[in-house]
Structure 1
Amino acid sequence: MRKGFIVVSLFIAQVIYSQNYSRYVNPFIGTGGHGHTFPGAIVPFGMVQLSPDTRIDGSWDGCSGYHYSDSVIYGFSHTHLNGTGVSDYGDIMLMPTMGNPSLDNKDYSSEFSHKNETASAGFYSVKLDKNNIDVRLTTTKRVGYHEYTFNNSGNANIILDLNHRDKLLEGEVKIIDDRTIEVFRRSEAWATNQYIYARIEFSKPLKLTKKEANGKQENNMYTGTKLALAFSAPVKKGEKISVKVALSPTGYEGAGKNMLAEGQSNDFENIRKQADKDWNKELSKIEVKSDNTNKLSIFYTALYHVFTQPNIYMDVDGKYRGRDNKFYTANGFDYYSVFSLWDTFRAAHPLMTLIDRKRTADFINTFIRQYEQGGKLPVWELASNETECMIGYHAVSVIADAMTKGIKGFDYEKAYEASKNSAMLDIFGLNAYKQNNYISVDDEHESVSKTLEYAYDDWCIAQMAKILNKKEDYRYFMNRSQNWKNLYNPENGFMQARKNGNWYQPFDPREVNNNYTEGNSWHYSYFVPQDIPGLIDSHGGKEKFEQFIDAIFTAPSTTTGREQADITGLIGQYAQGNEPSHHIAYLYNFVDKPQKADEKIRYILDHFYQNTPDGLIGNEDCGQMSAWYVLSSMGIYSVTPGKPEWETVTPYFDEIKLHLEDGTTRTITKNTGKEELRKLGFENVKSIKDFKYNEQTASPVIVADRLFDFSTKVQIIPLNPKDKVYYMTIDENDKNVRKTFSTYKGPFTINKTTQVSAYAQRNGEKSSVTTANFNRRPNHWDITVNSKVNPQYTAGGKLALIDGINGTENWRKGEWQGYQGQTFEAILDFKSPQQLTRLSSTYLQDNRAWILMPKKVEYYASMNGKDFILLKTVDNTVDSKDEKVQIKDFTADILPTEARYIKIKAYHFGKLPEWHQGAGGDSYIFIDEISAQ
């Protein structure tokens, strides 16, 4: 009987795979607008992404190397990122030309027309207009196949430019013979140390005809940080030259092995057909029926984008480059790279737990190895580099989701060890988070987003602890998972930053600022996926929370504060174009209004996903944008990855069939019951009883003037009116006095620089201690600033420049004033003449953030505030190319001078130079403390 079932399953699989789902894939979807996708050839999860490059800069909409609005191709490179916000990759670029070879990209580039361009799953072709060359591309996992047809006779060239795209740190080209070369490229961009090796084989002999190398040039080997070569041969009209490029992350030997395994065919069409077959095998896992071919194209292109990454990152023999830059061999699993986890934990990985459980286990085995070799789980890993981009430790979400859904094939204990390790580090605000149960503006930038996302991740770790019967760990992480309560402001219902013990003011939920990650308070005030019932209770029940969900969709569709390119696809303040909003419409299910969820999801599916180049409302983000579409069109979504269940809406298509790894098929129609959908794919997963844990008491708020003249009133407010509050004060006279907490009975006044600490208590549970510092002004000077401060970087007002509180290297915490594209000028008024011998002002440089030291600072003196005499000029000594974040005092020692007024002029650097990624943009001056003695 079992034998017969296997035969039937294999027969069904053969029938499914023989169907042509790849014909619906349109790789141009997302190549326009802000989608950031690329149209080139790739097989599912392949190492090679062979695609044309129309952008060689770091522009936002050129992150994938290609944008549909462009009309010039610079070449065809073998690695690309799908829908991200950074311009890494573009490795091993080749470009065919004719005539006298040139290594200048302005010369070897060519115009093209979309009329002569086609793309399908695993294939790309285009005509290069300049020299009438037809280019066709296809690929295997590790080998890219090029076919160039030269439609005119003459001298044909193939340009290899290793300076293409990101910064070349180290390059090498070895000419093995007239048909074979080996290439090494080490580069830097977002990932600071990327290694790639290639073996390139030409179908006919080619001679080296031009070279540019600033390193060694001997024995047919060329090195340098400036490295480009041209290989040439005469061709007849209509002659073809084929090129095969095998990639490896480990070395020339690995590239050679990969070529032997996947690069032996000389039949381009056969490789193309195999790529198409590979795509059909993956795409057939979900069978959708529709009379609307546009909807089929949108759906299968979405699935195609999900399967574009992560990318296999090992040679055919399993050898890979670890996070410690050493070599290892993957035994029993496949090793991958490109984990955009802040994006993909939400939908892409949950989708994989449904249709690709084996690959999910491989991803987690990769995580474990990266923990063992690099010290922690990946956050946003790229080419064996941890970029530290985005926030949270969302690998734990992927692990917890797999464990709770019963996926095997990885070491649960080791995965838990790695997860706990990530949560116990002291980086990115985690130290304050562990100690205070939230992160404040004073501790770390993006404090609200980090607190909320850490809290969800901690809940995920608690679910692992429950499975492994680790009771104490479960209670500890469940307590941490409640840390969101410390940033929930019951007065307005929003998640609000806290600064110096109080709520951060002024507050506008539409403002995009450094307290949130790629968003604002509207986007983050719904992110408590681990405790949605608790969030609803905080709002006062289902009816009020329903109104709060309604409010995000009806709010004005404009943001305030910093311009954020990621925030697109707005319905009110809901932003489908960026990930923090992706679960919000499903929250209507939790207030018993599924019809509202249906309405919003259907609108998004209808309007924000189209079968056009600009058919994605936001950047693809390694498949997350598309995974949302795939799941939502099936009528399911994982609001809380880590729970073996789906939230549901009415399916978008009339019939959907899921062909699962166990050989079974699930059929979804619009009449499928919601309870049946809720457990889809995980029907046999048994729930594990929760252990008991305590409800967290939120920390109180301390309200007073942070900077005061003579005295200020202090008020302590609990976030729950049922809480009792205890407090303690320490002023400059109490340094050696042992003090204890007293019961708070009401507001009190302080008249000295004082530290106030307080905690709340309810039902025997104490909150963490809130600590705030209130400073009596060190002087009574006045200051007039004649430059226009950027409203994002005011540090609280002009007195921040003379308050005696110094900013740190982490300028995002808000203690610096920022001035863009202008010279800073301010006049200090001492109110009466002063004898001066030293003047100082403090500046910060973070050149990656466009913040550069002033060219020079001038100090002037005056008695009347009108007539100023130059006292001293202090020149800058910090190299603008120095990427270290640093602070410099521009101090001027002067002859004793009597003056009532001092003028400070700090001359801005000017436009960002060509070497800077933001070349042409206006640089910033960041200034904090001005002092005089």
Structure 2
Amino acid sequence: MAFAPAPVRAGGSEDLATLVNTFIGTRDEGNTFPGASAPFGMIQVSPTGSHYAGWRDGDERIRGFGRSYLSGAGCWEQGGQVSVLPVTGVIGPGGDFDTRNADSFDHRKYGARYRHDPDGGQAGYYRVRLTDYGGIDVEATALARAAAERYTWAPGAATGHVLVDVGQANEKHRVIGSEIRLVGDRAVEGKVTTLSFCGGHQYATWFRIEFDRPFASFGVWGQAGGTPGARYSMESEYEPFNGAWLSFDLAGARSVTATSAISHVDLEGARANLRAEAKRDGRLLTFDAMRGAAQQAWRDALSKVRVEGGSRDDRVVFYTALYHALLQPLTGSDADGRYRGYDDAIHVADGWTYHEFFSLWDTYRSQNQLLALLEPRRARDIGRSLLAIDAQGGWLPKWGYADFDTNTMTGDPVTPFLVDLWRYGALDGREDAAWAALRRNAWEVPPLLSRSEGRAGNAGYLRDGFVVFDRTFPAKGMDVDPHNGGSATLEYALADCALAQMADALGKHDDAAALRARGGNWRNVWDPALAEPESGFTGFPRPRLADGAWFTPPTGAYSPRSHYGFHEGTAWQYQWLVPQDVPGLARAMGGRDAMARRLDAFFAYDELLADPANAARKAWVGGAYSYYGQYRYNPNNEPTMHVPTLYSLVGQPWKTATVLHAVQTLFTNAPNGVTGNDDLGTMSAFYLFGAMGFSPLMPGSGRMLLHPPRFDRVTLELEGGRRLVVKADGARSPQPRYVASVALDGKPQAATWLPVERLMQGGKLEYMLSERPDPAGWGTRKEDIPPALCAAVDPAQSR
């Protein structure tokens, strides 16, 4: 292929930008995108195929290259707007693109077959060969607010066309209305209004595309077909074909570069973003200059963690996971600081960057903590963005998409998310505003006319100590908490305990006491008499009705493996969501030994020992959406993400090591190399913590569990020039390795955990590893385990 060579780092060290493989996660519903983006970029350029999330490995054709994508989300309406495809052929009556028929411009028909090569997806750079239309090479790169594509037609092509499709996007992303206008002989701009994300709300994207050479001819298409020489077209959802073609004379040069920018504010925002990031002295950056800047931005971001040891594939997996974790949330404010708030008004972020697209139900469990550790300035802006959403929209979001709350997912994820930001220092100076927003969220319910749902189950929860299970409860989006009363109760109780930590630190002691008591509300959905014949275990969480009765299906028997009352999971999987009171959970299960036996059954522990390389794929939940009817660990989804750490909290840290080793076998240098939806970097962040040797325990606690890392040496560059080095000789092994001892700055570390504040100071964390576990060794004493943050109290006090 006739592409520019990849840049090479001086000294022969690995180039972290080119070590990334953006094709990881593009198969088996990982839902990552292979195209180009900057860290936390507003704009992405990536192919669109027939998959609902954009492009999937194996799609037959590329329909175009869109401007907007999310990485790893599970909802089906995700971006792809303003789709551009270079082609050849005759545009005219009876031609390859028949201007008499609007459906000649249907991207499902004109999409091109393609061929990728293995290094065509790097951090900040993407390339592909379209094998139709005589062969066309496409390259893409992106900065935070502007992107560029270079199209190179095959020798012999006299005329090349560029189709700009604004009437179609991803397979299920509804374009409600669109307009396009040709400006002069080098630019196209317009607006697209779409309905997005699991039946979400409408929002607008403005765009501008500038070309590095003039059009030889042009036209637009719409419901009436194609019109040569026309400069403007506007269509609705009911006339789905809308766009423009731009034709270039290829006699002098075979390549054309298209530079684009978008905005969620207005057209001037898109223009300003393009001027600010894609031009120097009024001239467009060359493609290679932008690529150089984009990939350097990624080198700077990725170099905040350095790993040594393992194979090259191991390092590709690690840095691709870090890449995925650093893609979101997206930059939301334009180059001039303007952004569109949740009140639909225009605001200005002066001296900071507003962010948008918050997958909080996912990211509060791992990705949030990773950003707070590695990107503290970004974390401060993220926290400030959420508080701006509260101030302008009246409530904190649940799943914030662009400038509205989709209310997708359940529970109260924003509370542990913000409390962790507070714990990591990212809310310094804004604690009072954060507390006011979080307290309102924890004690109240948004009014009916508010788009926000908040804690929709609060009425019953505050009165009775549990969220009533009610499938008839009206929802403002696709999900609402009473539809999943069992899991919502567990999520609320975890959030309450997290918020209690912040309340105490701020001197709100009465509220802290009430929240700690509510942290024990998990007991109110624990049915101690619920027995499962298949496993022999007794005692599971179970949804309750408004009168307090346990829910029973028409069959007359409630199964802990059923779908009733639990969001994307079962009672088997949600029974572990009590990190605030593991001793209480153990007592409910019959004691620590009984809890450990139940964990063994959950993880198929004996099978992991017998076949550590393959057992995880055979024994655990396999499908990305196989939520229900399950009793085993689900590595594809978030509710069980923390469960491997629970072994350490019942005095068996060697089993945590075994399970995390098995988890790591699921992350590979292949298109199916992530588990389930990557969920805006959440599953990748989970892998990264496991590979680095410490993982977050309960959200809001600031506690990090220690366990064997995957690499011999991991170096983290922290704020203020501090550095944390994690050392573990012989960490990479096909067999699990177990912790024999730990030292921090040369001093023995007997406890299985450390406060994150200590890790943030930097230093040297050194593991001595063993090939065999010691059931009486490191981390097995009760004093080695962190105390419960919200130990269970009498149920009468938890209302």
> For the residues of structure 2 that align with 1:329 and 1:99, how far apart are their CA atoms?
46
Using the TM superposition, give the Cα deviation of residue 71 of structure 1 relative to its aligned residue in structure 2, in angstroms. 2.5
Using the TM superposition, give the Cα deviation of residue 572 of structure 1 relative to its aligned residue in structure 2, in angstroms. 6.2
TM-score (norm 2): 0.80
Deviates more, 1:154-163 or 1:360-369: 154-163
Quote the residue 1:198 is aligned against. Answer: 207
Q: Is the 8 A contact 1:100 1:155 kept in 2?
A: no
Flag the 1:526–1:209 CA change in 2: closer, same or farther, 3 A: same
Q: Residue 44 of structure 2: which of 49, 56, 69 is its match?
A: 49
Whichever structure has more strand as a proportion of its residues is: 1
Structure-to-structure mapping, 1:727-742, within 5 angstroms: none
Quote the residue 2:496 is aligned against. Answer: 458
Quote the residue 1:77 is aligned against. Answer: 66
Q: Is the 8 A contact 1:378 1:393 kept in 2?
A: no
Letter in 2 for 1:323: Y
Letter in 2 for 1:100: V
Q: Is the 8 A contact 1:494 1:521 kept in 2?
A: yes
Quote the residue 1:438 is aligned against. Answer: 466
Using the TM superposition, give the Cα deviation of residue 503 of structure 1 relative to its aligned residue in structure 2, in angstroms. 2.2
Structure with the bigger RCO (C-alpha within 8 Å, sep 6+) is 2
Using the TM superposition, give the Cα deviation of residue 252 of structure 1 relative to its aligned residue in structure 2, in angstroms. 1.2
1:530 aligns with 2:580: yes
Structure-to-structure mapping, 1:162-173, within 5 angstroms: 162-165=166-169, 166-173=173-180
Q: Residue 118 of structure 1: which of 113, 117, 120 is its match?
A: 120
Using the TM superposition, give the Cα deviation of residue 169 of structure 1 relative to its aligned residue in structure 2, in angstroms. 1.8
Q: Residue 508 of structure 2: which of 463, 470, 476 is its match?
A: 470
Q: Residue 158 of structure 1: which of 159, 162, 165 is its match?
A: 162
> For the residues of structure 2 that align with 1:507 and 1:34, how far apart are their CA atoms?
34
> For the residues of structure 1 that align with 2:661 and 2:399, how far apart are their CA atoms?
31
> For the residues of structure 2 that align with 1:18 and 1:222, how far apart are their CA atoms?
51
Q: Residue 658 of structure 1: which of 691, 712, 716 is its match?
A: 716
1:223 aligns with 2:234: yes
Using the TM superposition, give the Cα deviation of residue 141 of structure 1 relative to its aligned residue in structure 2, in angstroms. 0.8
Q: Is the 8 A contact 2:581 2:791 kept in 1?
A: no
Quote the residue 2:746 is aligned against. Answer: none
Structure-to-structure mapping, 1:506-905, within 5 angstroms: 506-507=556-557, 509=559, 511-554=561-604, 565-567=624-626, 573-605=632-664, 607-670=665-728, 672-673=742-743, 678-679=753-754, 681-683=756-758, 696-698=793-795, 765=796
Q: Is the 8 A contact 2:383 2:426 kept in 1?
A: no
Q: Is the 8 A contact 1:30 1:616 kept in 2?
A: yes
Quote the residue 2:765 is aligned against. Answer: none
Flag the 1:681–1:214 CA change in 2: closer, same or farther, 3 A: farther
1:502 aligns with 2:540: no
Q: Deviations over 1:200-255 (max 9, x none)?
A: 11122223234115799999432221422222233238611111111111111111
Structure-to-structure mapping, 1:320-469, within 5 angstroms: 320-426=339-445, 427=453, 428-442=456-470, 444-469=482-507
Quote the residue 1:779 is aligned against. Answer: none
Using the TM superposition, give the Cα deviation of residue 37 of structure 1 relative to its aligned residue in structure 2, in angstroms. 0.7
Letter in 1 for 2:574: Y
> For the residues of structure 2 that align with 1:591 and 1:33, how far apart are their CA atoms?
35
Structure-to-structure mapping, 1:273-352, within 5 angstroms: 273-352=292-371
Flag the 1:365–1:651 CA change in 2: closer, same or farther, 3 A: same
SS in 1 for 2:261: strand
Letter in 2 for 1:224: E
The CA RMSD over aligned residues, in Å, is 3.1
> For the residues of structure 2 that align with 1:93 and 1:433, how far apart are their CA atoms?
46
Using the TM superposition, give the Cα deviation of residue 90 of structure 1 relative to its aligned residue in structure 2, in angstroms. 0.7
Q: Is the 8 A contact 1:184 1:198 kept in 2?
A: yes
Deviates more, 1:420-429 or 1:355-364: 420-429
Q: Is the 8 A contact 2:622 2:636 kept in 1?
A: no
Flag the 1:254–1:684 CA change in 2: closer, same or farther, 3 A: same
Quote the residue 1:782 is aligned against. Answer: none
> For the residues of structure 2 that align with 1:537 and 1:429, how far apart are their CA atoms?
28
Letter in 2 for 1:50: V
> For the residues of structure 1 that align with 2:364 and 2:323, how far apart are their CA atoms?
18
Letter in 2 for 1:186: T
Letter in 1 for 2:89: G
Q: Is the 8 A contact 1:99 1:154 kept in 2?
A: no
Using the TM superposition, give the Cα deviation of residue 366 of structure 1 relative to its aligned residue in structure 2, in angstroms. 0.4
Q: Is the 8 A contact 1:342 1:390 kept in 2?
A: yes
Flag the 1:438–1:303 CA change in 2: closer, same or farther, 3 A: same
Deviates more, 1:494-503 or 1:284-293: 494-503
> For the residues of structure 2 that align with 1:622 and 1:130, how far apart are their CA atoms?
33
Quote the residue 2:259 is aligned against. Answer: 244
Quote the residue 1:145 is aligned against. Answer: 148
> For the residues of structure 2 that align with 1:122 and 1:462, how far apart are their CA atoms?
41
Using the TM superposition, give the Cα deviation of residue 525 of structure 1 relative to its aligned residue in structure 2, in angstroms. 0.3
Q: Deviations over 1:595-638 (max 9, x none)?
A: 11111111111x21110011112110100110011001111111
Q: Residue 56 of structure 2: which of 52, 55, 67 is its match?
A: 67
Q: Residue 185 of structure 1: which of 185, 192, 207 is its match?
A: 192
Deviates more, 1:629-638 or 1:454-463: 454-463
Flag the 1:97–1:503 CA change in 2: closer, same or farther, 3 A: same
TM-score (norm 1): 0.69
Letter in 2 for 1:128: L
Q: Is the 8 A contact 2:208 2:262 kept in 1?
A: yes
SS in 1 for 2:33: coil
Letter in 1 for 2:591: G
Letter in 2 for 1:534: G
Using the TM superposition, give the Cα deviation of residue 182 of structure 1 relative to its aligned residue in structure 2, in angstroms. 1.4
Letter in 1 for 2:647: Y
Point out where structure 1 has 5 or more consecutive residues left out of the alignment. 1-13, 56-61, 699-764, 769-933
Q: Residue 20 of structure 1: which of 9, 15, 28 is its match?
A: 15
Quote the residue 1:254 is aligned against. Answer: 269
> For the residues of structure 2 that align with 1:508 and 1:608, how far apart are their CA atoms?
33
> For the residues of structure 2 that align with 1:609 and 1:389, how far apart are their CA atoms?
27
Identity rate, percent: 29
SS in 1 for 2:351: coil
Letter in 2 for 1:545: M
Q: Deviations over 1:879-909 (max 9, x none)?
A: xxxxxxxxxxxxxxxxxxxxxxxxxxxxxxx
> For the residues of structure 2 that align with 1:115 and 1:570, how far apart are their CA atoms?
40
Letter in 1 for 2:522: W
Q: Deviations over 1:900-926 (max 9, x none)?
A: xxxxxxxxxxxxxxxxxxxxxxxxxxx
Q: Is the 8 A contact 2:139 2:150 kept in 1?
A: yes
Q: Deviations over 1:306-353 (max 9, x none)?
A: 001111011011100101111000123211111111011001011122
| Runs of 4+, deviation exceeding 6 Å | 14-19, 214-219, 555-559, 568-572, 690-694
Deviates more, 1:645-654 or 1:298-307: 645-654
SS in 2 for 1:462: helix
Q: Is the 8 A contact 1:143 1:247 kept in 2?
A: yes
Flag the 1:366–1:603 CA change in 2: closer, same or farther, 3 A: same
Using the TM superposition, give the Cα deviation of residue 508 of structure 1 relative to its aligned residue in structure 2, in angstroms. 5.4
Using the TM superposition, give the Cα deviation of residue 286 of structure 1 relative to its aligned residue in structure 2, in angstroms. 0.8
Using the TM superposition, give the Cα deviation of residue 693 of structure 1 relative to its aligned residue in structure 2, in angstroms. 9.3
Using the TM superposition, give the Cα deviation of residue 275 of structure 1 relative to its aligned residue in structure 2, in angstroms. 1.0
Using the TM superposition, give the Cα deviation of residue 511 of structure 1 relative to its aligned residue in structure 2, in angstroms. 3.0
Using the TM superposition, give the Cα deviation of residue 174 of structure 1 relative to its aligned residue in structure 2, in angstroms. 2.2
Q: Deviations over 1:75-112 (max 9, x none)?
A: 00011111111232111111111112331224421111
> For the residues of structure 1 that align with 2:11 and 2:29, how far apart are their CA atoms?
34
Flag the 1:25–1:675 CA change in 2: closer, same or farther, 3 A: farther
Q: Higher Cα Rg: structure 1 or 2? A: 1
Letter in 2 for 1:140: L
Flag the 1:479–1:571 CA change in 2: closer, same or farther, 3 A: closer
Letter in 1 for 2:115: S
Using the TM superposition, give the Cα deviation of residue 551 of structure 1 relative to its aligned residue in structure 2, in angstroms. 2.2
Q: Is the 8 A contact 1:153 1:238 kept in 2?
A: no
Q: Is the 8 A contact 2:514 2:798 kept in 1?
A: no
